[in-house]
Structure formats: structure tokens, C-alpha cells
Amino acid sequence: MDILWLEFLFIFIIGSAIGSFLNVVIYRIPLNKSIVFPNSYCPKCNRSIRPYENIPVISFIFLRGKCAGCKEKISLQYPIVEAIMGLLAMLMLYSYNWSWDLLIFGAMVAVLLALSVIDIATYRLPNKIIITGVIIAVVLTVLLKREYVLNMILGGLTGLFLLSLMGLISKLLLRKDTLGMGDIKLAGMIGLYLGPFQTAGMFIIGVFVGALVGISLIIARGKKWGQRIPFGPYLAIGGVIALLWGDSLWQWYISFALP
């Protein structure tokens, strides 16, 4: 049991470190800045961040949420993204143990987390990140799971088709575009990882969660029906749920619908 918890602690540290890198991606990619140079710095005073000030989650607590130089408040987004990625890494380890699937699907959730945060903040899903996700899916599948190549292709096509169809139907009903091309491309990217059946599950869950949140926003904040909301995070949530619990949810649905 002690070894098990050490493994989870180790994977959380790795995941939170990846989350720290994702914060760089989330901040710089929408601004068309390099994610390699310069080193991490405070966007307010441009002071370089020391290595001991850049420890995921811990440094935020140690610095009391403020820059060590200018004392400007550090966004809560940084420790939240780091912690979420650490927890997702633990969840992936729990589901797939130390396997190639852990690497493949861990890469998927990292890309989805970065895209979700950017979409919430900017209503954009940068092509650079989606293309990176596509390349990772194709390369890892060809190298590590060649028997999955056909499923990968069919999954990608399924994601593109379902979101394109949804966009067409919503445009006909509402007489305006409610989905961006980024959402369609994102669904195709997720499909490369999940295959056709889990991609269909991703679509159903994503639409359900998006509709639930949309209705809640209409009631709570007076948003108008048909007003655009960032749909990427719901596709990401649907993708993770379909990946981890899709089969169980389908079996539950079958037992419920056909007793």
C-alpha cells in the first residue's frame, strides 16, 4: 500500500509539472509568443522567475499568491491548472497503470486541459495546439499501438462528422453559426485518441453537459438562448468521461432502457 501511494504521489508531481508547462502554453500561445524563450517571467514587472519560485502549487502557497518582485497577485489559474493536471495524471494511472495507454491518454488530457482554459478565456481553440494533439495521437498510435490505426482514423472522422452535423443543424434552426471550426477540429482530434464508439459517447456527453450549463446560465445570469458559449471544455469533459467510464455508462443505459 505504501508503494501504491508513493506511485500516486510521484505521478501527481509529474502531472503538476506538466501543468506548470501548460500554464506557459495557455498564456503565450494566444499571444503568438514562443513557449521556449524567454524563461518564465512575471507579466507585470518582467522579472525572471527563479527555479524555487516555480515549484508547482507549492511556490504559489509559499509566495502567498504574489510575485516575489513587484508583489502583483498571481492568478489562481496557475495552481489550479497544476493541481488539476496532477489529479488527472493520478486518475490516468489508476485507470491504466504503467502502460503505453497511460502515456497516450495522459497526453490527450494535457492537450484538452490547455485548450479548455484558453477557450474559456478567449473563445478560441488555437490551431497550433490542436495540430500538436493530432501529431501526438498519430505518432504514438503508429509507434505503440499499430493495431489501433484504423480505429484512430475512424474516430477522427466520427468526431469531424458529428460536430459538423451539429453545427449545420444548429445553423438551420437558429440561422447563425453557433459552433466554430475550432470545435469541429477539436472533436476530430479527440476522436483520434478515442476511436469511433467512444467518440460518439464523447459527443453525447459533451452536448448534454453543454446544454445543462447553458440552461443554467440562462436562468442564473440572463444569457440569451442561442448565445455562443465556449464549447471546447464540454467536449473535453465528454472525452475524458467517455474514455474512463463510457463502457460502464453504456451498460447502465442499456440496463435502464431495456430492463
Structurally, the chain folds into a number of domains equal to 2
Same domain, 200 and 94: no
The least confident of 66-70, 94-98, 161-165, 204-208 is 66-70
Q: What is the pLDDT of residue 259?
A: 58
Q: What is the pLDDT of residue 224?
A: 59
- Asked whether residue 104 is assigned to any structural domain, the reply reads no
- Asked whether residue 222 is assigned to any structural domain, the reply reads yes
Find out whether 112 and 183 touch, Cβ atoms under 8 Å.
Answer: no
Same domain, 162 and 197: yes
Query: Could you say which DSSP state residue 45 is in?
Result: T
Between 70 and 117, the higher pLDDT residue: 117
- Asked whether residue 193 is assigned to any structural domain, the reply reads yes
Query: pLDDT band for position 189 (50/70/90)?
Result: very high
Same domain, 138 and 94: no
Q: What is the pLDDT of residue 258?
A: 61
Q: Around Cβ 169, how many Cβ atoms within 10 Å?
A: 11
Same domain, 76 and 156: no
Q: What is the pLDDT of residue 172?
A: 82
- Asked whether residue 203 is assigned to any structural domain, the reply reads yes
Same domain, 25 and 87: yes
- Asked whether residue 94 is assigned to any structural domain, the reply reads yes
Q: What is the pLDDT of residues 46-74, one digit of tens each?
A: 888 888 888 899 999 988 888 888 888 88
pTM of the model: 0.91
Same domain, 207 and 124: yes
Same domain, 78 and 176: no
Same domain, 154 and 88: no
Tell how far CA 131 is from the center of its chain.
Answer: 14
Is residue 175's pLDDT more than 70? yes
Q: Which structural domain range is residue 88 located in?
A: 1-98
Q: What is the pLDDT of residue 1?
A: 44
Same domain, 11 and 51: yes
